Amino acid sequence: MLEEFHITEKLLSITTDNASPNDVMIKVLGDSIETFGRQDNQVRCFDHIANLCAKSVLWPFDVKKKDLDTVLNEAEEALHELAEGLDLDDVSATQVPGEDDEQLGNNVERWIDEMDEMTSEEWEELSQKVYPVKVTGLPQELCLNT
């Protein structure tokens, strides 16, 4: 096909992922086209390489399925410990003078009431929604010191 369209001499490189059939394709092209330099002209897909790098960086934070319940319980306990000493009166000290809760769209008292009034089904639904945050596997010290 390359010869049919007269582009054989214009073929400089081919971008592929890391699959072995692509290596075979590059070898066949190198054997059939004199100007094509085989592996020297194969460019690995940057997105694929970046994905592999990201997975290897995130690997230490993966939670094993057998440890999942323990990690979730520990994370929930840590959040409760953080909330124990929270004084809601301190929240008003961080607001900009002249702006009330309605202007900010941040009614803290109402939010707390909603949490207190949740049924067990609503609580379960909320727990499912925040599940991805709990299983990130960040070291507890990192979460507590921020």
Condensed to tens digits (0 to 9), the pLDDT of residues 72-129 reads 777 777 877 777 777 666 555 455 555 555 555 555 555 555 667 788 888 888 777 7
Q: Does 146 or 43 have the greater pLDDT score? A: 43
| Strand intervals (E) in the chain | 14-16, 42-44
State the pLDDT confidence band at 140, using cuts at 50, 70 and 90.
very low
CB atoms near residue 48 (< 10 Å):
14
Query: What percentage of residues in the chain have a pLDDT greater than 90?
Result: 0
* d(C-alpha 134, C-alpha 146), whole Å: 16
